[in-house]
Structure 1
Amino acid sequence: MGTTGGASGTRRSAGTLGTDDDVATQPLVLRGSELARAEPSGRARGRERPASAPVPFVGAVGGQGSRPVDRVVSTGMADRLAEKAAMRRHRLRNRVLGWAAAVLAVAGGVWVVLFSPLLGTDPAKVEISGEGTVIDVAQVEQVVSQVSDVPLPRVDTIGLRDAILDLNGVRDVRILRVWPDGLSVTLESREPVAAVPHEGAFALLDRDGVQVGTVDAVPEGLPEIGVTLDEQGARSLRAARIVLNALPSELRAEVAEVTAPTQDAVTMTLRDGAVVEWGNEEDAALKVRVLQALRALPENQGVTLFDVSAPTMPISR
């Protein structure tokens, strides 16, 4: 019996030793964030693994390669992925809010500039200049008043210019915006340069031949053109206007009357009584210089006739 007991003891010792050796040689398995010994293969086979258990991957003992074992996804990695997703959502939300704020700012600026009364045109801040002697300023103000309270950027300056050009005596006009709510209107007047007899009165003509008014008598300082305003006198009138436009202002102021039986026979009568035979409209600049030179000569004082129709061979007597 002692032998048997000894044998049994020996067997138990051997069994115990075998169990310890098995534990020592078991591979390590990752369980969450801790390492654990893998169960003996016999016991692992004798037990069913839950169907939902993840299969981790762990290297074999001794660096002999690797084999699949139970695997658990790291909760730290999941937290990092969730954090990145949250950051993406945050950036997207900030971007959308930024674009929305920009759109609102632009829309607000457009409303202030184009529709709010802040930039409405103030009639009291409209400056009108250059009206001359024939333009009625009240008519210009009435036209400009049509854009009162209209925001300055929306004022139709082209349409406003066309409306002012339709007024009597306006040759040209320049309109500028004066921020924040004013306008500058600079007129160019059709100043009369001659008076032509017409229907018992005198029509005032500017340098382009446009009638800018009618008066009962020739205004002081304006020459009278002795032609008719009908089609028959159109060519003679044109020749007379060209001669007057070619004269310097100081010489034109001395002209009392211009006659033109034909377009090639223009004659001027000066205010001192002297007569100038001008001829046609050609060589106007040369004729002006010759006439000025002849009148400046001391020996020509008191001369009553200057013929410059052939400027290279002038005659005075």
Structure 2
Amino acid sequence: MRSLLDQPPEDSRARFRDRIPRFILTVDTEEEFDWEKPLTRETHGTDHVRRLSKFQEFCEHQKVVPVYLVDWPIANSRLAAEILREPLAAGRAEIGVQLHPWVNPPFAEDVTQHNSFAGNLPRDLEEAKFVKLRDCIEAKFGVTPLIYRAGRYGVGENTARILAEHGIAIDTSARPQFDYSSVGGPNFRTFPIAPYWLDDERTLLELPLTTTFWGMLRKQGEYIYPRLWRAPSMRGVLSRLNMLERVPLTPEGVTVEEAIRGIDMALDEGAPMLVFSFHSPSLRPGDTPYVRTEEDLDDLYDWWRRVFAYLKQRGVKPSCVKDVMHSVER
């Protein structure tokens, strides 16, 4: 079992039997907290959970199966279970594990920036937190989760083996073109956006979140972009000049026009799977920096409508965990 921190070898790339490009919609389904303040165990809420009902109805109308990656406060929300149990049972939604260690028992560590990345914890503690959350999700939602994302993308040397030993089939924690090492997290800057196997037996699949570079300098983006950290304003200048732009596939801070350019770049590079994501608190104005007003929320839904329409136009098929596991070559 390779570490999730290791650059995957070329021969580990995964393919789908039908060669049809796919996309998957993942929702970081988590508590509300102040993104500008230090993390705590206590100062958070779940008031936005009622908004999941409308989002689920929206996805069903669009014929998209959302994958809710649920953390401890949401797993223990009675309302979340009431909203999602029936769609999960019917296959119109899927559920996975998202570990926020600072709010997930057992609480044996201090709440620090370093410890907010679960992969930095001792193996026994990372595993105990994961197992407690997975078992809670299965009990409350009536479904066994098969997909995992580390909160803050915080995987470590032990994460892959923990997941494999406890029945997880897919990890989706890698975020190519992003480097969190300056704050104690992993560095995924040079990782591929294509899916890859984490073991030779092909039992644990990585579905990286999709981020691409766009612009005249996109082929050099992997080299240029990280070197602009001392002059972040230059990133904006290069973007405005259509020279270089980093485009993660999310409605949070990314316009629909930018997302469409990112989709085109990923497909043109032969990516077999596009992984979209956003945070569930963005479904209620004021809970994230990305959605402050009801108008912003309308824009978020419109973003998804236009992106889904464009994906259909480009022949990209909606996917989900069940489809991935059925269709991937082993």
Q: What is the TM-score with the length of structure 2 in the denominator? A: 0.23
Higher relative contact order (CA 8 A, sep 6+): 2
Whose radius of gyration is greater, 1 or 2? 1
Q: What is the TM-score with the length of structure 1 in the denominator? A: 0.23
